[in-house]
Amino acid sequence: MSKLLLRTALAAASPGTDKAVLLLAGTAEARQLADLLVTDGRLRVISSLAGRTIEPRTLSGTVRIGGFGGVEGMASLIRRENVVLVVDATHPFAVQISANAAAAAKNNGVARVALVRPPWTRDGKDDWKEVGNLEEARDSIAAGSRVFLALGAQHIDVFAERDDATFIARMVDRPDHPPFANCKVITGIPDGLLAAEKAMLSAHRITQLVCRNSGGDKGFAKVAAATELGIRVIMIARPPPPAPPHLATPDEVMEFIDAAFSP
């Protein structure tokens, strides 16, 4: 259906019309896709960030930052900018923006695809405890643990109830206020190297890791490091995925666009 919508929009556009793709970003895959789309050049690229990080990494395209103002805000940008395709390349745990994208595209009769990076799956070595949400993760922590929280800043308050454990939370930016008394914040973007993650977990004498099943090779380094060090992993399962269609990689999105352009 989405491919048909895109094909129809491309066919209906008069020559020279400045058609655009709206790329909802905030992930490494979105950055890769923005590069591919800009290099491809057939669609004007509007790359959108929520504005959660103070200094976001470089992103190709015309970058806009900040919320749209809900479904109607995104819908009006779609109309104003002559958007013929919305690519939802947001994080698998960013549920609201994905729902908004699906509704805004549908209401405008515009094609949408979701770039959904595959979740991590266990192999023989992995022995993580899977939980459904942050509260279950909090309740799964053993008393007396030193816990590494690989979660965004907005997701750690729930652990404040556990005054019988010590927490280290890694964030991109230092928060204005320390989260809670027994939680220390470290900042930085991990480089995805196993040795670095092992060194970091060892330096903080971590005994339990709490993370979300975000998927992606770089993010898995902390899980692999914890497994090798015998650190217990508490893995928060993904929320329901965005509405289909789903594509797994930036290249698959480009193939989708190619197919819609080809006669």
**Which spans of this chain sit near ligand NAP (rule: CB under 6 A)?**
24-27, 48-50, 52, 67-70, 73-74, 90-91, 93-97, 100, 152
- Residue nearer to ligand NAP on the CB measure, 10 or 150: 150
CB of 28 to ligand NAP, least distance (A): 9
List beta partners, residue 234.
129, 210
DSSP string spanning the chain?
A: -HHHHHHHHHHHSPTT---EEEEE--SHHHHHHHHHHHHH-SSEEEEEE---SSSPPP--SEEEES--SHHHHHHHHHHHTTEEEEEE---TT-HHHHHHHHHHHHHHT-EEEEE-PPPP---TT--PEEESSHHHHHHHSPTT-EEEEES-GGG-GGGGG-TTSEEEEEESS--SS-SSTTEEEEE------HHHHHHHHHHTT--EEEEE---SHHHHHHHHHHHHHT-EEEEEPPPPPPSSPEE-SHHHHHHHHHHHH--
CB of 119 to ligand NAP, least distance (A): 13
CB of 18 to ligand NAP, least distance (A): 21
- Residue nearer to ligand NAP on the CB measure, 68 or 220: 68
- Residue nearer to ligand NAP on the CB measure, 10 or 234: 234
- Residue nearer to ligand NAP on the CB measure, 70 or 188: 70
CB of 155 to ligand NAP, least distance (A): 7
The CA radius of gyration of the chain, in Å to the nearest whole number, is 20
- Residue nearer to ligand NAP on the CB measure, 163 or 191: 191
CB of 88 to ligand NAP, least distance (A): 9
CB of 27 to ligand NAP, least distance (A): 5
First-last CA distance in the chain: 17
Q: Rounded distance, CA 2 to CA 13, Å?
A: 17
CB of 191 to ligand NAP, least distance (A): 16
- Residue nearer to ligand NAP on the CB measure, 74 or 260: 74
CB of 87 to ligand NAP, least distance (A): 11
- Residue nearer to ligand NAP on the CB measure, 69 or 261: 69
- Residue nearer to ligand NAP on the CB measure, 70 or 109: 70
- What is the number of alpha carbons within 13 Å of residue 50 lying toward its C-beta? 14
Q: Rounded distance, CA 21 to CA 44, Å?
A: 6
